[in-house]
Amino acid sequence: MIASNRARSGLDLPLSPLRFLARAAEVHPDKVAVVDGERILTYRAFAALASEFANALKARHIGPGDRIAFLTTNSLELLVAHYAVPLIGAVLVAINTRLSPAEVGYICDHSGAAILVSEADLLSRLLAETRLETVREIVVSPDASGQTVALDGAITMADFLTTGRSEDLPWEIDDEERVISINYTSGTTGRPKGVMYTHRGAYLAALGVVLHHGLTYETRYLWSLPMFHCNGWCKPWALAAVAATQYCLRAVRGPVMWDLIDKQGINCMAGAPTVVDTLVSASEAHGLAGPLTIICGGAPPSPAMIAKVAAIGGRISHIYGLTETYGPFAVGEAKPEWQALPIEEQATLLARQGVAMVTGDTIRVVRAFPDKSGSLVDVARDGTEIGEVVMRGNLVMKGYYQDDEATEIAFAGGWFRSGDLGVMQPDGYIKIMDRAKDVIISGGENISTIEIEHALSAHPDVVDVAVIGVPDEKWGERPIAILVVADIDVTDLGSRDAKSSELIDHLKRRIAGFKVPDRFEFTDALPKTATGKVRKNELRALHGDRKAAL
């Protein structure tokens, strides 16, 4: 009887981020919601377009559980899709635009996508090189100019939208555990896996972002983070929750970002360290006239980078998480007393991965093996003992789509096993030391590649760096560093040798001697994913068959 009464009274109304846009349209209908080039939509128009798109999907008999794939840059259409697709109970599959046609085809087929929405230039290459097994209709969306290029065998977005009925759809869901989106992992160690997010998880993840990053009605957010990456760390939902204004950015370019910061008063953006570096290293970089929060994740920002952002008047909010945790799970939450410390000490503290967000559960660092009872055992809270980072709670995925075996492995021990190695600091903040697959074991000693990378990043000439382990007959493995360095001729042996000697001296003042790389290689650019992570698997493939002594 109690449960029935709760249902009738609405106390058990399922949680869904759909309500965020509905509320924004009701309370702030004339507030500018989205700016995509010359296209500007208010929240009233944003909600209306989402309903129009949902009705067009419904006219094609798309319904609960059906998958709709999007292969687009950061656009108005992809923002709308975050509401239109789940509005009819369907599932959004946002695909990395930098994947190969074969990889995109695999994701479309594996997810069973019924409709694919994409921009003409991305579609042309895809359709020329692969065949989509489950997609029954292709929709061409506008490019950065707002124009749509017609393609044979596809319908334009404008024509697609005219096919639906003008039906009022409820901005709610019948089951908060229904899947709202499937995000595919990068697949660097095999086929990408489809990570399932629920309406409940997306709702709580979005509120966590609002709380920890101070999003408000006054937020003017720049989409420097790909919307396809963990649903843009759930920000399409978070920003609507506070009726913020969002500016679409199709490609990360320093001049464009600074132009928008200066002319539009951008005060919040997000991205991997490579995005931050693009911003602060641009020739247009200057002291900020107003506040700017940069939410940084995907890879740990170095203390040197945090200090650089502070020097221009900005602030980095460091987050940590994975695709499997809706993006951010932990935040390097600053404490007021840290402000009295020198900027270098503040930066070191803020570079840590931090503590769990309030909408998640606790985050732990555990030993490699459970105790005799099967329970996971925490490492010592001493900042020294290394273990695996594990999580659980509302900000952890429902599971991998159509992959029960991988899901079971990921949750062995009752917690999600991140594969990241870290330490627990005495103050309860975690610090990631490395990915399990990246840690270097040299002469029985564990060497953190991140520690070396951060030490090298503190050198003023180092623009970018990656450290990997290579086979060594005596020690098993030894680290080498691959660097992008300013003002060096990478083809000149003398220049390289002089810089290597300089970097060795620099490192020996900061880390133990056995951690100093045996070799330094210089390049013009490091291979990276669309989200700014260095493709260390490619670097290992290139160097793995070479001896460190060479």
For the chain, what is the total number of helices (H) and then of strands (E)? Answer: 18, 26
Write down the pLDDT at residue 6.
47
The answer to the question of residue 225 being in a domain is: no
Same domain, residue pair 140 and 265: no
Q: Are 220 and 360 in contact (CB under 8 A)?
A: no
How many domains, in total, are found in the chain?
A: 3
- For residues 375, 376, 378, 379, the Cα torsion angle rounded to the nearest 10 degrees is 120
Give the domain CATH number at 466. 3.30.300.30
Which residue, 467, 464, 465, 456, is CA-closest to 509? 456
- Total residues belonging to the chain: 550
Which residue, 352, 533, 535, 325, is CA-closest to 417? 325
Give the domain CATH number at 278. 3.40.50.12780
Q: Are 421 and 440 in contact (CB under 8 A)?
A: no
The answer to the question of residue 239 being in a domain is: no
The answer to the question of residue 213 being in a domain is: no
pLDDT tens track for 303-316: 888 889 999 999 99
Stretches in the chain below the pLDDT threshold 50: 1-8, 188-189, 545-550
Write down the pLDDT at residue 373.
64
Same domain, residue pair 414 and 460: no
Write down the pLDDT at residue 240.
98
The residue behind tokens 């503590």 is: 355
The answer to the question of residue 469 being in a domain is: yes
| Segments forming the whole domain that contains residue 125 | 2-23+43-204
- Residues paired with residue 184 on neighbouring β-strands, in sequence order: 194
CA–CA distance, 457 with 395 (Å, rounded to integer): 32
DSSP code for 436: T
Same domain, residue pair 422 and 450: no
Same domain, residue pair 388 and 268: yes
Write down the pLDDT at residue 194.
97
Radius of gyration of the chain (CA): 24
Same domain, residue pair 462 and 415: no
DSSP code for 302: P
Of 204, 225, 260, the domain-final residue: 204
The answer to the question of residue 500 being in a domain is: yes
DSSP string over 373-419 = TS---BPPSSS-S-EEEEE-STTS-SEETT-HHHHHHHTTTSSEEEE
The angle, 0 to 180 degrees and rounded to 10, between the axes of the packed helices 43-59 and 18-27 is 140
Same domain, residue pair 446 and 431: no
Token pair for 262: 């200066």
CA–CA distance, 16 with 18 (Å, rounded to integer): 5
Of 376, 411, 435, the domain-final residue: 435
The answer to the question of residue 344 being in a domain is: yes
Vertex 296 angle, CA 388 and 234, to 5°? 85
pLDDT tens track for 53-108: 999 999 999 999 999 999 999 999 999 999 999 999 999 999 999 888 888 999 99
Which residue, 257, 258, 209, is CA-closest to 236? 209
Element (H, E) at 102: helix 101-111
Element (H, E) at 82: helix 76-87
Write down the pLDDT at residue 494.
80
Same domain, residue pair 515 and 538: yes
The answer to the question of residue 197 being in a domain is: yes
For the four alpha carbons of 95, 97, 102 and 103, in that order, the dihedral sign comes to negative
CA–CA distance, 401 with 184 (Å, rounded to integer): 9
Write down the pLDDT at residue 25.
98
Same domain, residue pair 446 and 430: no
- Residues paired with residue 117 on neighbouring β-strands, in sequence order: 70, 139
460, with CB counted inside 10 A (0-12, 13-18, 19+), is exposed
For the four alpha carbons of 266, 270, 275 and 281, in that order, the dihedral sign comes to positive
369-397 as b/e: b if 16+ CB within 10 A: eeeeeeebeebeeebeebbbbbbbbbbbb
pTM, 2 dp: 0.84
Same domain, residue pair 65 and 94: yes
Write down the pLDDT at residue 185.
87
Same domain, residue pair 66 and 117: yes
Of 376, 409, 435, the domain-final residue: 435
Element (H, E) at 157: helix 157-161
- The number of beta carbons lying within 10 Å of the beta carbon of residue 120 is 17
Tell me the H-state helices in 179-286. 199-213, 230-233, 235-241, 254-264, 273-281
Same domain, residue pair 379 and 272: yes
Same domain, residue pair 373 and 446: no
- Residues paired with residue 196 on neighbouring β-strands, in sequence order: 182, 399
The answer to the question of residue 228 being in a domain is: no
